[in-house]
A and B are shown apart, each in its own frame.
Chain A
Amino acid sequence: MLKKAVLTMVTLAVLCGSAWAEKTIVFATDATWPPMEFVDGSKNIVGYSIDFLTAAGKEAGFTPVFKNTAWDGIFAGLSGGRYDAISSSVSITAERQKKMDFSEPYFTVHQALIVQKASKAASLADLKGKKVGGQIGTTGYFAIKGAEGVVAKSYDEIGLAMEDLNVGRLAAVVCDDPVAANYALIKYKDTLRIATVLKTDKPEYYGFAVKKGNKEVLDLLNKGIAAVKAKGIEKELKKKWIGQ
């Protein structure tokens, strides 16, 4: 009897030990960006990047913990040390690279222009003098601001911009194509459509952001990303969340 109890305790200690040995990485995520990261019907944070990191964690030996964080200020929280990394469909840009380090790219995105079904607009150039919305601080919003003659409106969440487009207060919305597809093909499939994908000189990639110089976390992430890609898990996830 005593032997059995001791054995159980030893087994437990070993199990816990191995669990503790695995590094926990806290990721900030703005879970308002379906299908990449969003809150499902039972209040869990789910999505492509969540599954991607969970798989990467298994491969590289870390446990991801997700912390739902408002997008505006998400980078301030990283430099303030409130979490280890950001997993929030962050496009790798030169400006952001000055302030933080990025993992290897894990997803390729394009900026999509969403309009009402009845709209004839085929590009941002057709929307001179009209209001076009995007999420504050995103590459989509920067694209609108960069377009000549278009009135740029910034929203806290892309869903609010989509609703304003749906009721006709906006002429268009610009955001990442997987998100655009989620809204235009599923949620608002009767009222909205994707007009076009904006042409850019350089491809745009998502990366996981870490505080400048945090090599330990960055190495773990890159190891995990490489494994997820090599093992074909990426393909399964794309099929599951993006449908391609």
Chain B
Amino acid sequence: MAESESEKIEIGEGAAIPSPEDKGLVSAWWIALLGTVALLIALPIKDPSTYGKVLTFIPDGILVTFEVTILSISLALVIGLLTGLGRISKNRYINLAASLYVEVVRGIPLLVQLFYIYFALGRFVRVPDIVAAVIAMAFCYGAYMGEVFRAGIKSIDFGQSEAALSQGFNQAQTMRYVILPQAWRTILPPVGNEFIALLKDTSLVSILAVADILRRGREYASESFNYFETYTMIALVYLLITLILSKLISNMEHRLSYYEKR
């Protein structure tokens, strides 16, 4: 247990998630979840013409948010794996290229990257709005993911590589059959956190006129002037989604640490 603690990659994102062992009914997560659900049901019933209207206005936005999130995270995982491998590569040029990518991306705010890929590069490459949004999000999160992969791979004891190599595995086989399957355990939880962070950050793509949850809400508010009601509902919808996702990720993390518990 002590050893596994040291190899845990800590990237805090989201609320305090109860470990599945915590059987107590009263936890911040439960209070938040029940409160959110209660408000999401009660407010539209109390005032269907405002709160209720918001809820009928945004469902297609929720789909777009999920679409952008899932496509971006898939692409970011691929970029992240390549970057992570590049960062630990012994080849100087590959290593330099991967490190340069991470440095550049981490140094530019996501909002600026979105504008850059959409409007600046849009002059040369004409991609539809959602594609531009996905490329920008994946480009940014690929770099974060690369660091997660690198840390995950590095957390595997060098003895594992030595053993594999001495058994006649080559470098690629060692990585594929020995290191990566073990590294997943440490990589997955922070990837889950990045997933939630990415989902929240997709609200930024609303500035690219992508009709996500936030954009739909703003459109409704700008017509109805019901700013308070609109943004209350928008915040609750995002909160509900991230609460559910963080619970799923926490359960997954629990399952992955199965061996450590014994």
Contact = CB atoms under 8 A, between A and B. Distances in A.
Whether chain B is bound by chain A comes out as yes
Interface of A: 72-73, 75-76, 79, 95-96, 99, 133, 136-137, 142, 153-156, 160-161, 163-164, 167-169
Interface string B205-218: 00101010001001
A168 B127 CA distance: 9
B253 interface: no
Contacts of B219: 136-137, 154
A132 to B, nearest CB: 11
Nearest to B121: A167
Interface stretch (B28-36, B101-109, B139-147, B221-229): B221-229
A134 B207 CA distance: 13
A136 B230 CA distance: 15
B176 interface: no
A130 to B, nearest CB: 13
Nearest to A154: B219
Contacts of B211: 153-154
A142 B223 contact: yes
A168 B119 CA distance: 12
Interface of B: 119, 122-123, 126, 128-129, 207, 209, 211, 215, 218-219, 221-223, 225, 227
A96 B209 CA distance: 24
A137 B218 CA distance: 9
A161 B223 contact: no
Contacts of B126: 167-169
B223 A95 contact: yes
Contact of A155 (B123, B209, B225, B227): B209
The 3 closest A-B pairs by CB, nearest first: A137-B222, A76-B227, A155-B209
Contacts of A160: 119, 209
B225 A136 contact: no
B218 A72 contact: yes
Contacts of B129: 153, 164, 169
Contact of A161 (B209, B221, B225, B227): B209
16 contacts: A95-B223, A96-B225, A133-B209, A137-B222, A153-B209, A154-B222, A156-B207, A160-B119, A160-B209, A164-B122, A164-B129, A167-B122, A167-B126, A168-B126, A169-B122, A169-B129
Contacts of B128: 169
Nearest to B207: A156
B124 to A, nearest CB: 9
A210 to B, nearest CB: 15
Contacts of B222: 72, 136-137, 154
Nearest to B223: A137
A76 B225 contact: yes
A189 to B, nearest CB: 17
B227 A73 contact: yes
Contacts of A76: 221, 225, 227
A163 to B, nearest CB: 6
Contacts of A142: 223
B227 A163 contact: no
A95 B128 CA distance: 34
Contacts of B223: 95, 137, 142
Contacts of B123: 167
Most chain B beta-carbon contacts within 10 A, residue among A160, A168, A169: A169
Nearest to B219: A154
B215 A75 contact: no
B111 to A, nearest CB: 12
Given A137-B222, A169-B128, A154 B227 contact: no
